[in-house]
């Protein structure tokens, strides 16, 4: 019989969308979980069920400042992920990506903890290579409105690999493609939450551009499975590794699916495409399959249903 060893695990951004699902899983597996969040986009409701667990602890803290805790593993998720939120205070976004990474890497160096970085498909920018493989260096505008996030996350990856080369740190870098699920913020401006909330309210569905741009959408449970598997890999496995779902949809197709599943009478309206909005995005998941023996299980329609139910509950209660 194999016994799971209890670890002390730090999750930065643990009160956010992905972080709270990760905390749920880590706590259920018996780990001692320290959740750190400054509540910029996170919410206490996301972790309300964990509050009274003896193996869960919450610290309100901004990772742009140093943190002193003793842990075995660190998942560094703290950073606003929606364009609306990361562009609201772009200087703070870069600080969170870069100073936050330096502080968390420093913590990993002092404690000897293994550290996983929540990086992003945004490091590929508006790609000329399709689907995107980890070997592709990307096409990112360094001075645009998305740069605070894209370049911040790219610099964080650089820091992770320099700490690995220079100090032998045990690092894992995950490049996450668009992920959705319950606990996304209803106002966070990302396309899945926007379309579902608009459809449920009967408001117009706002397609930016002509809707021909593509994204690949991964359900949150699949992504958390991959996080946990990546953290458990041998020391030599550093990534970067793409995590997501390779089903690719135009934004217009997503709008149609949502309207259909909600049974909504919302009309579609077209608004200008934001600057530097990538035209296509789909992960090549070959490496994740090889390294982690992992592939996403939940297709878009199956994943949208619980999210629609979740937002229905949120709208009914508020």
113 token code pair: 């903890």
Q: Are 180 and 218 in contact (CB under 8 A)?
A: yes
Which residue in the set 138, 186, 274, 306 belongs to the binding site for ligand UDP (CB under 6 A)? 274
**Across the strands, what pairs with 119?**
175
CA 249 vs. chain centroid, Å, equals: 19
- Look at residues 236, 84, 87 and name the one whose alpha carbon lies nearest to residue 148: 87
For 183, the 3-state DSSP assignment is coil
Choosing from 40, 75, 124, 149, the catalytic residue is 149
When CB distances are held under 5 to 8 angstroms depending on the partner's kind, the choice from ligand NAD, ligand UDP, none that residue 250 binds is none
124 is catalytic: no
- Considering the rule CB under 6 A, would residue 206 count as an interface residue with ligand UDP? yes
Query: What are the phi and psi torsion angles at 276 (to 5°)?
Result: 65, 20
Q: Are 273 and 234 in contact (CB under 8 A)?
A: no
End-to-end Cα spacing for the chain: 47
- 87: number of Cβ within 10 Å: 17
When CB distances are held under 5 to 8 angstroms depending on the partner's kind, the choice from ligand NAD, ligand UDP, none that residue 308 binds is none
Which residue in the set 76, 147, 213, 245 belongs to the binding site for ligand UDP (CB under 6 A)? 213
Which residue in the set 13, 19, 80, 83 belongs to the binding site for ligand UDP (CB under 6 A)? 83
Select from 92-100, 259-267, 272-280, 307-315 the region that touches ligand UDP (CB under 6 A). 272-280
Which residue in the set 26, 27, 47, 62 belongs to the binding site for ligand NAD (CB under 6 A)? 62
- Considering the rule CB under 6 A, would residue 190 count as an interface residue with ligand UDP? yes
> Which residues are catalytic, by number?
149
- Which residues contact ligand NAD by CB under 6 A? 12-13, 15-19, 36-42, 62-64, 77-81, 96, 100, 118, 120, 176, 178-179
């Amino acid at each position: 019989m194999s016994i799971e060893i209890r670890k002390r695990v730090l999750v930065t951004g643990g009160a956010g969308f992905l972080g709270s699902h990760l905390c749920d899983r880590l706590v259920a597996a018996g780990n001692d979980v320290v959740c750190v969040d400054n509540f910029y986009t996170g919410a206490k409701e996301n972790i309300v069920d964990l509050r009274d667990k003896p193996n869960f602890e919450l610290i309100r803290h901004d990772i742009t400042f140093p943190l002193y805790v003793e842990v075995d593993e660190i998942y560094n998720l703290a950073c606003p992920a929606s364009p609306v939120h990361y562009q609201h205070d772009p200087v703070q976004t870069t600080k969170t990506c870069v100073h936050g990474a330096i502080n968390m890497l420093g913590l990993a160096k002092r404690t000897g903890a293994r550290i996983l970085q929540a990086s992003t498909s945004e490091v590929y920018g508006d790609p000329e290579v399709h689907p995107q493989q980890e070997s592709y260096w990307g096409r990112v505008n360094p001075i645009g409105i998305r740069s605070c996030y894209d370049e911040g996350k790219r610099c964080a990856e650089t820091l992770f690999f320099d700490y690995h080369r220079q100090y032998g740190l045990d690092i894992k870098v995950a490049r996450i493609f668009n992920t959705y699920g319950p606990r996304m913020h209803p106002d966070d401006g990302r396309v899945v939450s926007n379309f579902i909330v608009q459809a449920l309210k009967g408001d117009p569905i706002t397609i930016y551009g002509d809707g021909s741009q593509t994204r690949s959408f991964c359900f949150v449970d699949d992504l958390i499975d991959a996080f946990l598997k990546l953290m458990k890999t041998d020391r030599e496995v550093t990534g970067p590794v793409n995590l997501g779902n390779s089903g690719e949809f135009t934004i217009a197709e997503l709008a149609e699916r949502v309207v259909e599943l909600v049974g909504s009478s919302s009309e579609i309206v077209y608004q200008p495409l934001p600057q530097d909005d990538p035209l296509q995005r789909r992960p090549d998941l070959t490496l994740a399959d090889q390294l982690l023996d992992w592939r996403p299980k939940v297709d878009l329609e199956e994943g949208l249903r619980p999210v629609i139910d979740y937002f229905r509950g949120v709208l009914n209660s508020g």
